[in-house]
Structure 1
Amino acid sequence: MAHFDYKRIPKVPELRKRLIFTVAMLAVYRIGVYISIPGMNRDAMKAYLGSQDTGVGGFLNMFNFLAGGALEQLSIFALGIMPYITASIILQVAGVLVPALERLKKEGDAGRKRINQLTRYGTLLLAVVQGTALARGLNALTGQDNVVTSTGAGSIALIVLTLTAGTAFLMWLGEEITAKGVGNGISLLIMAGIVAGLPAAIRDTLRMAFSDASTFGPVDLLILVAIMAAIVAAIVYVERAQRRLPVQYARRAVGGGMVTSQNSHLPLKVNTSGVIPPIFASSLMMFPGMVSGYFGPEFQEAVQTFLAPGKMGYLVIYSAMIIFFAFFYTDIMFNPVDMSDNLKKWGGFIPGVRPGEPTAKYIGWVLKRITTGGAVYLTVVCLVPYWVTGAFQGVNFYFGGTGLLIVVGVSLDLVTQIQSHLISANYDQFSLDNERPRLRARLEEGEPQT
């Protein structure tokens, strides 16, 4: 990563405004987490989750982790941003299978706006479905009768309306951050929820390490810190890793003169999909447990037992989803045919590979190879929490690979975007500095301004 003077950030007005807007919107999100839903008992929910295993911890603890602690608070944001992510997955998969949606994707900005609109409608529909399942099944899910204090039709409708409105607000918040702030708004909301829980997780782990009643001691704490450091180093290394395909540009005539041939490269990231696969996979893994309450308590218990985090069924399906979304998202982001056509259009070629279709096949082959490595890396990192909690009983979710991957990956993306703004500001300043002498000279010569 190139070095940049980050002390210049306050001196760049556009970047400063974007950062302030991003921080303000994240603050609004965190404040909303502590606004409880009417008709629900927050203290009973906190007591239930506090009595559960803080490691793998079951369905509700995992859901609370991904919702940034909003479920524990029985907040208006208790569903989190997961309905929006699930709707996005459905629309993206449908865009490959449904010809009408595939045509929309090719219509440019108009088609993209239409797909975004459909995603919002799908988010609201899923929020209603999941909110109803949560309101109706939370007492049975926790084995208590005082979490949802009023189970009348009017109270359930109010809870569902509140949860749906909270999800819609988070969806709007994420889109506003993406448009007017810095970074991907949805990813930043998820990261903010995880980071907000880190202080409490660190406190509990330190207390457990130095407690005589715990089997987790200081030596185990040092081993855990070493594992976390190794995971962070691996994430940073792989997220920055690239496969650079050499590209040569032939000599061509420009402005009546000849431009010499140039050597360049085509950078292909090892993990092109970033943190999208684990976020998508986690969202989909939560969905069956949420809606299974519609089919009775026995079916709900069976589904949640089978898909309990750490169980073999959960691990196999979760790993398969991560691998699938790693390839799927890479195919969406990169089209080898388009890349080959662009190279041919600008007179570029890969040495030893004929332009056109052979180049497209070669780029596709390279993408599949590096995506395989990226998918294996994502799967291993995301399975680490279950190995860690198996080795160190009681260790919190926050020290697992999924949380660290999201935090580190989103942070790297945020730094990259800040760097882009700084480069743009430097370029604008450089252009202005070059224009000023010419303007001054024209004014001294008495030329009229244009």
Structure 2
Amino acid sequence: MFQTLKKAWGVPEIRKKILYTLFMIIVFRFGCAVAVPFLNTDVVKSWMDASGANNGGFLDYMNTITGGAMSQATMFSLSITPFINASIIMQLLTYALPPLERMRDEGEEGRKKIDKITAFVAMVLAVVMSYGYYLILKNRAHVENENGITYALKYSSGGEGVFAAFVIIACFVAGALIVVWMGNRISDKGLGNGISVLLFAGIAARFPTDAALLVKLTKDNPSKYLFVSLGYLLFIIFEIAFIVFMNEAERRIPIQYAKRVVGRKQYGGQKTHIPIKVIMSGVMPIIFAMSFMSLPQTIELFAGDPKKASGFYYNFVKFFSTRGWGYATIYFLLIIAFNYFYVSIQYNPVEIANNLRQSNGGIPGIRPGKPTSDYIQRVLNKISLVGAIFLGFIAVIPIFMGMADKQLQALSMGGTTILIAVSVALETTRTLESHLMMRHHKGFLQ
């Protein structure tokens, strides 16, 4: 990767793209520090820390991908989360709604239409999420100090309250739309994959905080956390290497095309393969499972503190606590289920078998038609199980670490964040390699 970056820096055109991308990342990080009017950011941060923004739950995940902006209630508090949610919704609807499916099959024009619909859905989600975040800050975000209770909202009543609400919600929505605009500019004028690059920037911004926490724990209790910190760093290195290996791993189904003679020329007879990646669904199953498991925490944010209640509500929230075995088990099983679901909507064995038959191709030793589709389905089931178990273990590792030591719950390096960061880094490296190949290709005439 570093060798590819060195070669890309030597090409003036690619260097301009790299510098433009870095400039947008710097602007993004500045936006994550711009305070929203009428909000007491210190109170928001204290409340977020006390409410689960560092215990491996959904709030922790949201705070990590925004680079810590959500815990400080800054302009980019929502970051790219509305766009990611809109993209997931539209991707699922293209398989469920025939009009969207026809748009997808129209090629470039259809993709542009779907992108416009996605942008509109993202804007609607940004408004809804901003209003919900405002209500949570208004009703729940407060801390108790020596002078009494300090609320996150500086103005919370009368006409000033209405104006403050409008300004706060407008700032959150504007910040989300600006982030999407910056991602599109990176895709057009930068290295590409703008949304993924900003997501990587938000995650990477949390790494120094984790390093500082490990240093602090080691200084306070060196006899215990010195070996814990070293072991954790070695584990992160091993995890990155294993994620890279699994991300590149694939199962290749051999394909043989039949020979046919047309006049004096012979066509076909080539041997190729169908690559099936072990982690073809990426991080999507984890996001789906995390969204489902965040429902009890979302209910808790709006309904109130379960410690002040009793009965079913208290037991329900306690069972779905991120520090319990029940949460980890259900989370793991949901990831496996959602991985199978996502693979099923991506791969259609019957369609692949029909395409092979029409092109006079087939799998050696497997008859065309239904036997071919059944064989592909069996391979998909095995590969999906391996990928799902891998994703499940990656996702629950931080939960087990938090259960072993509460001090390590605030660490964001590990599990899902490492998986996202490594995937984006590999994707960016491939983009740089493609740019280099286009500018150093000698051509067919030499």
Relative to the length of structure 1, the TM-score reads 0.83
Deviation for aligned residue 1:375: 1.1
Gapped regions of structure 2 (runs ≥ 5): 144-149
CA distance in 1, matches of 2:307, 2:293: 14
- Which residue is equivalent to 2:132? 133
- Which residue is equivalent to 1:197? 206
Matched, 1:208 2:204: no
* Paired residues for 1:257-336 under 5 Å: 257-258=265-266, 261-282=269-290, 285-286=293-294, 289=297, 296-297=303-304, 307-312=320-325, 314-336=327-349
Deviation for aligned residue 1:183: 4.9
Choose which of 228, 244, 247 in structure 1 pairs with 2:236. 228
Distance 1:165 1:319, change over 3 A: farther
* Paired residues for 1:285-434 under 5 Å: 285-286=293-294, 289=297, 296-297=303-304, 307-312=320-325, 314-395=327-408, 396-427=410-441, 429-431=442-444, 434=446
- Which residue is equivalent to 1:448? none
Distance 1:170 1:236, change over 3 A: same
- Which residue is equivalent to 1:98? 97
Does the CA-based 8 Å contact 1:220-1:392 persist in structure 2?
Answer: no
Distance 1:136 1:326, change over 3 A: same
Distance 1:350 1:19, change over 3 A: farther
Does the CA-based 8 Å contact 1:55-1:389 persist in structure 2?
Answer: no
Q: Give the AA of the match of 1:417.
A: T
Distance 1:423 1:331, change over 3 A: farther
- Which residue is equivalent to 1:74? 73
Give the superposed CA RMSD.
3.2
Does the CA-based 8 Å contact 1:135-1:148 persist in structure 2?
Answer: no
CA distance in 1, matches of 2:58, 2:317: 7
Task: Give the percent of matched residue pairs that are identical in Structure 1 and Structure 2.
Answer: 34
SS of the residue 2:151 aligns to: coil
CA distance in 2, matches of 1:390, 1:229: 22
Q: How many residues align?
A: 429
- Which residue is equivalent to 2:195? 186
Distance 1:59 1:355, change over 3 A: closer
SS of the residue 2:55 aligns to: coil
CA distance in 2, matches of 1:336, 1:235: 27
- Which residue is equivalent to 1:87? 86
- Which residue is equivalent to 2:147? none
Deviation for aligned residue 1:40: 0.6
Does the CA-based 8 Å contact 2:53-2:71 persist in structure 1?
Answer: no
Q: Give the AA of the match of 2:363.
A: I
CA distance in 2, matches of 1:38, 1:305: 35
Distance 1:57 1:102, change over 3 A: closer
Q: Give the AA of the match of 1:245.
A: I
Q: Give the AA of the match of 1:393.
A: K
* Paired residues for 1:115-130 under 5 Å: 115-130=114-129
Q: Give the AA of the match of 2:339.
A: A
Matched, 1:172 2:217: no
SS of the residue 2:406 aligns to: coil
Q: Give the AA of the match of 1:315.
A: A
Relative to the length of structure 2, the TM-score reads 0.84
Distance 1:154 1:300, change over 3 A: farther
SS of the residue 1:331 aligns to: helix
CA distance in 2, matches of 1:278, 1:12: 38
Which whole-Å deviations, capped at 9, do the CAs of 1:31-76 have from their partners, x for residues lacking one? 1101111111112223444567785266544432232111133211
